[in-house]
Amino acid sequence: MQGKTRSSCEIIYQNACQVIPGGVNSPVRNFSDVEVSPLIVDRAIGDTIYDADSNTYIDYCTSWGALILGHSPDPVVKVLEKQLKQGTSFGISTSYEYEIAKKIVELVPSVEKVRFVSTGTEATMTAIRLARGYTKKPLIIKFQGNYHGHHDALLVQSGSSVSYLNPEATSQGVLPSSIQETITLPYNDKKALDDFFASEKKDDVAAVIIEPIAGNMGVIPAKHAFLQALKECSKKHNFLLIFDEVISGFRVGLEGAQGYYGILPDLTCFGKIVGGGLPAALIGGKAEVMDLLAPIGEVFQAGTLSGNPLAMRAGLATLKVLERDGIYEELEEKTRVITDPIREELKNTPHSIHSIGSMFSIFWNVKNPQNKTDLAHLDMDLFKQYFQFLLKKGIYIPQSPFETSFVSLAHSRENLQYTRDVILEFIKLKK
């Protein structure tokens, strides 16, 4: 389990830096914020990844939450093996697109129709366009610390790894004109919401987009009353309420966060789990809104690999496993092997842990945050030490304090108990 010298990883990384900016295809993979040379994965199975130096790590990133069944689960591998011999992409329709769409419509009460895309970024971008097309209004409200992907209109005061880049604003290259119609408000802050909807802009809003269970500033679930207030506002001011369930969809239950809270949005974005580890995401919602998409309606959206058969079959195989009795209870019970003793251990410390279903995160030097402002005094250095301590002991968690750890069905009891003990050891060391 113990990490060894990672010489092959370092060589591959240094070579990659010659031809890929920062050596990575997504910034957080660089590990520079935690001052560790990045992992280079060779393979993974179940709950364990093997790096290029044959070190093993119990994986709590699980491809940023996409792999709820763990790495290379049999039901997914089986359908992929078949499909690989039958063609990987056609750019025209297959029956699998219909099958998974039907399954999602059956499972998620707010969804009557879906359109598949390849990434969560495309899903939220399309949802925004659809909302503006439907309402014929310009403004979008998002919440500080929520991350909805990397398209211009929503890359404002985002969570996830953008928090490191520029916590206040956005990315270079985003024109002020692209974000002047994006309003950002504090998460879970009903007063700020009420103040906005008392302003002269109140009837110019096309959509409010929210992560109902935020997973990009650590795990911070929305307050029920806050989501309820948003729902009421959407009726009163005729805008679309969009739930970004790219993380929470099929993670906290078959109906996602909307089922957990009993509050139905107008549109939902799903990603990660719906692709079963392959690139797929979707926008779903009322038929009346969804039918505005081309070719029926005049809101344009398209994609070369959208709904490709590998992702559709992997996603469908994953959803079929998740439908089995007791799966979400099992996931939560596994997660509590780690979270219950840690919650107890953190009681009389300045730190805290949040968990919901199979998501959890520890906030170093912050007690039970409700939004991004509450994270102002997050101890980044202590997070770095925590990350490095776990990595040395053969445990890989997402390399940012703004990300979420995920438990999968493949996590063994032995590895969960080992992880719990290592985290408890770290907490005791720091007391």
Ligand X SMILES: Cc1ncc(COP(=O)(O)O)c(C=O)c1O
Give me the 236-275 binding string for ligand X, x by CB under 6 A, dash otherwise: --------x-xx-----------------------x----
Q: How far apart are CA 6 and CA 187, in angstroms?
A: 40
Which residue, 219 or 353, is less far from ligand X as judged by CB? 219
Specify the stretch interacting with ligand X by CB under 6 A; choose among 10-18, 103-111, 120-128, 177-185: 120-128
Q: Record the tokens describing residue 364, joined without a space.
A: 């170093």
- What is the DSSP annotation of 381-415? HHHHHHHHHHHHTTEE--SSTTS-EE--TT--HHH
- CB-closest chain residue to ligand X: 120
Catalytic residue among 147, 187, 260, 261: 147
- State which H helix or E strand residue 333 sits in: helix 327-346
Q: How far apart are CA 322 and CA 319, in angstroms?
A: 5
Number of residues that bind ligand X (CB under 6 A): 16
| Pairing mode, strands 240-245 and 405-406 | unpaired
Per CB under 6 A, the list member of 57, 116, 143, 147 interacting with ligand X is: 147
The verdict on whether 384 is a catalytic residue reads no
- What is the DSSP annotation of 97-134? HHHHHHHHHHH-TT-SEEEEESSHHHHHHHHHHHHHHH
Question: Residue 254 CB, nearest distance to ligand X (Å)?
Answer: 18
Report the site for ligand X in 190-219 (rule: CB under 6 A). Answer: 211, 215-216
221 lies in the binding site for ligand X (CB under 6 A) = no
Angle at 358 between CA 279 and CA 119, to 5 degrees: 15
Give me the 15-54 binding string for ligand X, x by CB under 6 A, dash otherwise: ----------------------------------------
Report the site for ligand X in 51-90 (rule: CB under 6 A). Answer: 64
121 lies in the binding site for ligand X (CB under 6 A) = yes
Backbone φ and ψ of 124, nearest 5°: -70, -35
Q: Record the tokens describing residue 232, joined without a space.
A: 């009421």
Catalytic residue among 137, 142, 272, 393: 272
Q: Which residues pair with 4 in a beta bridge?
A: none
Catalytic residue among 47, 244, 266, 374: 244
Question: Residue 2 CB, nearest distance to ligand X (Å)?
Answer: 30
Which residue, 283 or 342, is less far from ligand X as judged by CB? 283
Which residue, 158 or 352, is less far from ligand X as judged by CB? 158
Contacts of 164 (CB under 8 A, 6+ apart): 33, 400
Q: How far apart are CA 248 and CA 234, in angstroms?
A: 21
Which residue, 214 or 342, is less far from ligand X as judged by CB? 214
Active site residues: 147, 244, 272
Catalog residues that contact ligand X under the rule CB under 6 A: 64, 119-121, 124, 147-149, 211, 215-216, 244, 246-247, 271, 281
